[in-house]
């Protein structure tokens, strides 16, 4: 079904064509009705001089044409039910005539209808072609909405029958009359039924042939022109035949002129329509090119958007992975911090008792060797807890300006023979005069851990290279800043990308059970982040691994600013006999060891098992300093220290703990931290430092 175009100009043109088509249907119906009315008037009022009546139109034909004309005019105005009521009797009359012709070979229906009319005017019989056309036109009107294609077929057949009669009258009436089917069809009858068949097509102007004819598009215009051209051959042939009949024109000349008159307009019509088709093809190609360009542009945009989405997804994945790693580190850090505290208390008890034992045993005592071995085991346990606290960021670092070259020299001595005879070590130090913000002791420990990892990655031997150089690196500030890179390079088995991506995870290791903790790289990474630096790892399977510690460069510090406070500490130790100390620790073994170590150094020591009882003692007297365990049940060391300094402002505080919360220590004046386990010398010097 044709639809009204969206463009306002096309819509206006479409409506104008609709009106013209409906007007054509109305005009045809009116002319047919006039012909029938003239004939009916001749029958009714006995006017034998009417041309139509003299032509022999039957009463059935006259009545059928009138009814069909009324039905078409009503149908064009959408009076569908009234039009059907008018069409049905006409169809019934036509079918009755055809049935009578078929049964009795005569038209008895026309005679019966004629007997009902007044007057003595001639009343002919209804020809089979006429009855058939009446039925076809009636069917076209009835079927126009439900079956538009069948309706057009009926109308077309009616036009074909009546057109044949009209051409017969134009070229030789005697030839048409010789055929029984067309015998008795008058010229007025054929004209009226032709107009009604055409009107039956045009009343349904939105579907079928009418929609094509009324279309405002180039296709509709071409259809209208070609239909008009179909009138040229019959009209030209009729005119030339008339001229030939009156001997004004020879037959050969008439045929030649007919060909010319037919071919020339046809050629012009073909050229015009061809030009229109060419224009349409050009427009289609232009539109196709535009659509192709538009599609390519959309495809490029979609690809850009897809890449942007991929980048965003990848960035989001990285952020989520970082958040997950941070949350995991925080969780593991809380767990390991608690474990390290309890473990360090155990180590402190063991270490303290070993120190007291070694003081009491002579050097040549057989048990001295066992005590020394046990002390070495305590040191290994101390390093393990230090690693746990470093990667979990639970350890308070002494971050300051550290010169790199002397530190690497000390690290070389610390490594010593740890690599074994099958592994060579090489140091390429390009860091002369460079200083970094870091904790020197923890940096040495991190380098040692990385070197041990490198050794384990070379079971068949190889080379470990330690490089240090000044470079530029982008930290979390987003801009490149001066940095110092310390690389540990091995020639070992290397790592696959999957393993390298997880290498810095805590407790992740590829070593056999019992041969690795998975804390070496995690400790180094956590330490670097605490210093405001970074850690990078590069590895190729079979080609070794490079781990790079990146530390922020800082300005050099004068020698007198970093001079050890040995003299000051010694002065404090010499005055120990005149100093009173309060030791508060909930672990009885650790507290007893601390009290004995300080007592043996000459201090007057009072002890307390928890923070509440310690504060009660402080309310009664003032010590020169307090040694407080950081983690205690009920009231932690930081809270005890704050209340103690409220009672005695400026009271020096020494925290002893393997787990130090730097936030909790904020606001504690004259406080320092001594990490467990410690030896008697470290304890005495720490106490002397806070007392000075």
Contact yes or no for 531/651 (Cβ under 8 A): no
Q: Return the pLDDT at 396.
A: 60
Q: Return the pLDDT at 305.
A: 92
Whether the pLDDT of residue 20 is over 80: the answer is: no
Contact yes or no for 653/670 (Cβ under 8 A): yes
Whether the pLDDT of residue 307 is over 50: the answer is: yes
Contact yes or no for 347/382 (Cβ under 8 A): yes
The residues, any chain, with a CB within 8 Å of residue 346's CB and separated by 6 or more, are none
DSSP state of 185: -
Q: Return the pLDDT at 4.
A: 37
Residue 295 to residue 157: CA distance in whole angstroms: 49
DSSP state of 230: T
Whether the pLDDT of residue 457 is over 70: the answer is: yes
Contact yes or no for 116/58 (Cβ under 8 A): no
Tokens representing 349?
């008890």
Which of the four pLDDT bands, split at 50, 70 and 90, describes residue 520? low
Tokens representing 422?
């099958």
Strands of 625-629's sheet, edge to edge?
604-608, 580-584, 625-629, 653-656, 671-674
Residue 213 to residue 206: CA distance in whole angstroms: 10
Which of the four pLDDT bands, split at 50, 70 and 90, describes residue 214? low
| Helix 108-115, helix 80-104: angle, nearest 10 | 120
Which of the four pLDDT bands, split at 50, 70 and 90, describes residue 601? confident
Over residues 81-109, mean pLDDT: 86
**CATH class of the domain defined by 566-691:** alpha beta
Whether the pLDDT of residue 436 is over 90: the answer is: yes
Residue 510 to residue 516: CA distance in whole angstroms: 8
Q: Return the pLDDT at 467.
A: 93
User: Can you give the residue ranges of every domain in the chain?
Assistant: 8-216, 399-561, 566-691
Q: Model confidence over 319-377: pLDDT tens digits?
A: 777 677 666 666 766 676 667 767 777 777 787 788 778 777 887 787 888 878 787 77
Give the H or E element holding residue 4: none
Q: Is 278 helix (H, G, I), strand (E, B) or coil?
A: helix
Q: Return the pLDDT at 188.
A: 84
570-595 as b/e, with b when 16 or more CB fall inside 10 Å? eebbeebeebebbbbbbbeebbbbbb
Residue 414 to residue 400: CA distance in whole angstroms: 21
pTM comes to: 0.42
Contact yes or no for 577/599 (Cβ under 8 A): no
Residue 79 burial (CB count, 10 A): 14
Which of the four pLDDT bands, split at 50, 70 and 90, describes residue 483? very high
- Segment of 108-112, 120-124, 162-166, 645-649 carrying the highest mean pLDDT: 645-649
123: closest CA among 62, 34, 198, 214?
62
Q: Is 625 helix (H, G, I), strand (E, B) or coil?
A: strand
458: closest CA among 421, 429, 513, 415?
421
Which of the four pLDDT bands, split at 50, 70 and 90, describes residue 3? very low
443: closest CA among 531, 558, 542?
531
Residue 231 burial (CB count, 10 A): 9
Q: Return the pLDDT at 163.
A: 85
Tokens representing 213?
């004819």
Dihedral through CA 144, CA 148, CA 152, CA 154, nearest 10?
A: -60
Residue 200 to residue 71: CA distance in whole angstroms: 9
Domains 399-561 and 566-691 share a fold: no
Q: Return the pLDDT at 572.
A: 47
Mean pLDDT for the chain overall: 78
**CATH class of the domain defined by 399-561:** alpha beta
Contact yes or no for 242/251 (Cβ under 8 A): no
Which of the four pLDDT bands, split at 50, 70 and 90, describes residue 254? low
């Amino acid at each position: 079904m044709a639809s009204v175009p969206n463009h306002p100009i096309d819509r206006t043109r479409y409506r104008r064509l609709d009106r013209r088509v409906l007007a054509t249907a109305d005009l045809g119906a009116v002319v047919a009705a006039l012909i029938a009315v003239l004939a009916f008037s001749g029958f009714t009022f006995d006017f034998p001089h009417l041309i139509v009546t003299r032509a022999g139109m039957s009463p059935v034909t006259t009545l059928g044409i009138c009814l069909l004309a009324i039905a078409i005019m009503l149908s064009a105005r959408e009076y569908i039910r009234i039009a059907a009521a008018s069409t049905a009797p006409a169809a019934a009359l036509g079918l009755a005539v055809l049935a009578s012709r078929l049964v009795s070979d005569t038209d008895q229906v026309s005679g019966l209808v004629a007997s009902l009319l007044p007057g003595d005017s001639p009343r002919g019989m209804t020809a089979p072609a006429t009855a058939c056309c009446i039925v076809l036109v009636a069917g076209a009107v009835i079927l126009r909405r439900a079956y538009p294609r069948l309706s057009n077929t009926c109308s077309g057949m009616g036009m074909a029958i009546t057109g044949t009669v009209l051409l017969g009258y134009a070229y030789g009436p005697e030839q048409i009359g010789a055929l029984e089917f067309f015998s008795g069809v008058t010229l007025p009858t054929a004209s009226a039924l032709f107009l009604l068949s055409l009107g039956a097509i045009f009343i349904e102007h939105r579907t079928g042939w009418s929609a094509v004819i009324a279309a405002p598009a180039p296709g509709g215009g071409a259809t209208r022109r070609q239909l008009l051209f179909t009138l040229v051959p019959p009209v030209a042939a009729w005119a030339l035949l008339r001229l030939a009949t009156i001997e004004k024109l020879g037959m050969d000349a008439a045929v030649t002129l007919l060909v010319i008159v037919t071919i020339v307009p046809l050629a012009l019509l073909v050229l015009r329509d061809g030009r229109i088709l060419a224009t349409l093809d050009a427009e289609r190609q232009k539109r196709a090119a535009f659509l192709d360009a538009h599609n390519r542009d959309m495809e490029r945009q979609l690809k850009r958007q897809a890449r942007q989405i991929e980048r965003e997804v990848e960035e989001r994945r990285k952020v989520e992975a970082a958040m997950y790693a941070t949350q995991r580190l925080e969780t593991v850090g809380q767990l390991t911090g608690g474990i390290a505290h309890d473990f360090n208390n155990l180590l402190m008890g063991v270490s303290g008792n070993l120190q007291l034992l070694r003081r009491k045993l002579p050097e040549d005592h057989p048990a001295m060797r066992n005590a020394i071995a046990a002390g070495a085991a305590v040191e290994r346990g101390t390093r393990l807890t230090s690693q746990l606290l470093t990667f979990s960021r639970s350890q308070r670092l002494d971050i300051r300006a550290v010169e790199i070259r002397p530190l690497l020299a000390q690290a070389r001595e610390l490594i010593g023979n740890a690599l074994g005879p099958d592994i060579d070590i090489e140091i390429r130090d390009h860091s002369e005069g460079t200083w970094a913000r870091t904790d020197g002791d923890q940096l040495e420990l991190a380098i040692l851990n990385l070197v041990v990892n490198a050794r384990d990655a070379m079971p068949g031997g190889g080379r470990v290279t330690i490089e240090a150089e000044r470079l530029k690196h982008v930290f979390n500030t987003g801009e490149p800043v001066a940095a110092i890179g310390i690389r540990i390079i091995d020639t070992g088995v290397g790592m696959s990308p999957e393993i390298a991506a997880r290498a810095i995870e805590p407790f992740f290791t590829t070593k056999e059970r019992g041969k690795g903790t998975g804390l070496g790289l995690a400790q180094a990474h956590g330490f670097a982040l605490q210093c405001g630096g970074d850690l990078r790892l590069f590895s190729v399977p079979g080609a070794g691994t490079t781990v790079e510690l990146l530390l922020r460069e800082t300005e050099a510090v004068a020698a007198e600013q970093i001079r050890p406070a040995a003299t000051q500490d010694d002065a404090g130790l010499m005055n120990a006999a005149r100093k009173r100390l309060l030791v508060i620790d909930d672990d009885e073994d650790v507290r007893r060891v601390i009290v004995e170590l300080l007592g043996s150094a000459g201090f007057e020591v009072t002890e307390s098992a928890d923070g509440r009882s310690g504060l009660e003692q402080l309310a009664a007297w003032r010590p020169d300093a307090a040694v407080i365990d950081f983690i205690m049940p009920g009231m932690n060391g930081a809270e005890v220290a704050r209340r103690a300094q409220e009672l005695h402002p400026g009271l020096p505080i020494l925290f002893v703990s393997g787990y130090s919360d730097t936030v909790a220590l904020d606001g504690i004046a004259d406080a320092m931290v001594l990490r467990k386990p410690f030896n008697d010398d470290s304890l005495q010097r720490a106490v002397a430092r806070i007392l000075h």
